[in-house]
Chains A and B, each alone.
Chain A
Amino acid sequence: MPFSPRGAGEKQAEAQAINMSIQSIWLVPALPLIGFLINGLFRNSLSKSLTGIIGSGTILLSFVVSLLIFGQVRQPGFHGEVVTLFDFISVGKLSIPFAFQVDQLSTLFLLIITGVGFLIHLYSTSYMHEEEAPHFARYFAYLNLFVFSMLLLVLGANFIILFIGWEGVGLCSYLLIGYWFKNLEYGNAAKKAFIMNRIGDLGFLIAIFLMIKQFGSVDFGEVFEHASSAKVGMLTAITMLLFVGATGKSAQIPLYTWLPDAMAGPTPVSALIHAATMVTAGIYMIARSHVLFDLTPVTQGVVAVIGLLTALLAATIALKQNDIKKVLAYSTVSQLGYMFLGLGVGAYTGAVFHVMTHAFFKALLFLGAGSVIHAMGGEQDMRRMGGLRKWMPVTNATFLIGCVAIAGIPPFSGFFSKDEILAAAYAKNPIYYGVGLFTALLTAFYMFRLYATTFSGGFRGTHEHHLHESPSAITIPLIVLAALATVAGFLGIPEALAPDAHVLGKYLAPVVGGEVKSEVSHGTELGLMALAAVLAAATSLFAWSRFKSKPDLAEPTGFGKVLANKWYVDELYNAIIVKPLDLLAQLLVFIEKNIIDGIVNGVGRLVQYGSRQLRLLQSGQVGGYVLLMVVGILVLFLVELFVKK
């Protein structure tokens, strides 16, 4: 192969430049960690504005570094690099380095996390401003710690680092849900989230152990390389357990009930952790280990069905919720279900695409809801809102964009990502498509019910004079996110509309493998797309016109009541898991208190009783002592005389 020396030199320099910025990847998680340490350690002495600047500034810097790295990663021909920082665990043959995986997938997540994260930090500086300074700093410290853990999660080059991040975000989620820890109910919600996550984490942990047993390594590269040589049974076990982990973190059936309760936390937390980033960790993990899932069709089927069922179930529950955040929470669960459907049918790009668009529009919706709650003075019940359009024009406009995006109306972003998943589902099994489309329509319906009830009609609350548009620290993130929610869809224009325009697909191809395969003919796909778009638009209009003038204020009856009570799933879990466990615990407490403690205390009491009786001998009567002495002497005599040697 002929080449000129000069060209080679240039290439080398270029490679070095790439290396330079890739090597500085550690800065991305380190900056939020520094922010966490400063805000956490000096929370009693920092002023609020300084806290806000440190908290948001570190994330912004992180975002800038991520952008620089993204600039390198997006070069064609970049094939992922592992940056090893130090040796983390080294036991026998097993060696786990503390290494970061820099490739297209992780960089995309970096941008989402730091970008959306920064906006939400900025938003929080205003939203949380009424908190006292130490608590304000505590809030930012937690938030920074969360971003650090999340970055660790997506950057880890092996399952252990991923798991560390995984646990870290779980911890931060717990801390932030229970941020207002004086409220007992919030504390309970935090515990619920933590415990349900723990159930999933156990599955994940066992999967890691199985991997170590099977492959002798937890390194992404090594595991995926040798995956095809493992037995299908073993792989199925590993992937199913990984999926159990994902159901916990990403709120899927059967572990989804913690997410709606997690709305106890401050609204920006709901936006960042429980909508945009943490809950998508499961999707990231499965997309990352798609090699394993590709080899196990059984697990893929389970993932798809669970995702679909979750999407449908959560969407039906959202129809009848009246708390503005609860609706969004169930909609998040539902959208996560969509992503799992995408993963299950092999549309990894579609799933990641939906993660991205969802991060934009769901963060937007949550922040919009936060803005509304802020204006309403803490009120979250939609039945007491209404007509807010008049007072909050920016929030109204951005919220509407969010609704349109999530409803899947073109050309907003939700349409493209949802369509990609639906098309892949159709190719796999038309039933998936049917249920998915129905769920999409439900989504459109409840989102516009939410919008109409909140922003249209007349005001139904009591503090009308209190209403106001939020300050710019709140509206600027809303506007930026609205812009992103509007245009992000164009990153993934389907093949059927414009050939070769799926930018994201091409970008992600080196990681998740291959192009966006469309097994359906373009004609069919266009038809499905048009059908979905028209139906979604029609449903949205229907819901809007139905609820704008006479909102759904009555107490639900019949089937609506079942939905309003979330299908009684919490009660069911209570009856079949919590109650029996409680009974078992009571039984064990009984055993512990009465039998084990009885034995232990019995020994003590016996000694005490015995010594009390013995003490009577020591009466202080000299005569008594002498008598005993004499009796003793006599006994000795008798022993000496009569006991045979």
Chain B
Amino acid sequence: MPINYYIFLAVALFCIGVAGVLTRRNAIIIFMCIELMLNAVNLLLVAFSKMHYHALSATAPHAGIDGQLFVFFIMVVAAAEVSVGLAVIVMMYRNTHSIDVNFLNRLKH
């Protein structure tokens, strides 16, 4: 399968994520969109890594491992982010009884 398909899919997922973050006001949906973007990147990383590995497997047996390893780091970071982010959202809800991000405006006052 050519790399183009992976790239188009990843770009499409990423754009959906960006659009979601830009347009939605619900914090949880924004969060999910962020996850979507992260995973688009993950997908791309894995795809590039795999294709690259195939091309170079004769000369450099471990050439593609780095990219796939990196994906795990991103997942860990994403998990940590989710835990912090959800905690923030919970606190936000407790204070404002809403998870509309525009309410966070109040923080500047």
Which A residues are within 8 Å of any B CB, using their own CB? 618-623, 626-627, 630
Contacts and interface: CB of A to CB of B under 8 A. Distances in A.
Contact-size category for B:
10 to 19
Interface of B: 18, 21-23, 25, 30, 101-102, 104-108
B104 A622 contact: yes
Given A620-B104, A623-B23, A626-B21, 19 more contacts: A618-B108, A619-B105, A619-B108, A620-B105, A620-B107, A620-B108, A621-B102, A621-B105, A622-B101, A622-B102, A622-B104, A623-B21, A623-B22, A623-B25, A623-B101, A623-B102, A626-B22, A630-B18, A630-B22
A508 to B, nearest CB: 90
A308 B92 CA distance: 98
A622 B18 CA distance: 13
Nearest to A630: B18
Contacts of B30: 622
A618 B109 CA distance: 12
A38 to B, nearest CB: 66
Contacts of A618: 108
A626 B23 CA distance: 10
Top 6 A-B pairs ranked by shortest CB distance? A620-B105, A620-B108, A622-B101, A626-B21, A630-B18, A627-B22
A618 B105 CA distance: 10
B68 to A, nearest CB: 25
Chief secondary structure at chain A's binding surface: helix
Nearest to B33: A626
Contacts of B21: 623, 626
Contacts of B25: 623
Contacts of A623: 21-23, 25, 101-102
A602 to B, nearest CB: 30
Contacts of B22: 623, 626-627, 630
Contacts of B101: 622-623
A621 B106 CA distance: 10
Contacts of A621: 102, 105
Nearest to B102: A621
12 contacts: A619-B105, A619-B108, A620-B105, A620-B106, A620-B107, A621-B102, A622-B30, A622-B101, A622-B102, A623-B23, A626-B21, A626-B22
| Residue of B23, B105, B106 most packed against chain A (CB within 10 A) | B105
A452 to B, nearest CB: 88
Nearest to A622: B101
Contacts of A622: 30, 101-102, 104
Contacts of B104: 620, 622
A617 to B, nearest CB: 12
A622 B26 CA distance: 11
A263 B7 CA distance: 102
A634 to B, nearest CB: 10
A623 B102 CA distance: 8
A154 B2 CA distance: 111
A621 B107 CA distance: 10
Nearest to A634: B18
Nearest to B27: A622
Nearest to B106: A620
A621 B22 CA distance: 11
A571 to B, nearest CB: 66
A627 B20 CA distance: 11
A599 B75 CA distance: 56
A357 B71 CA distance: 112
A626 B101 CA distance: 12
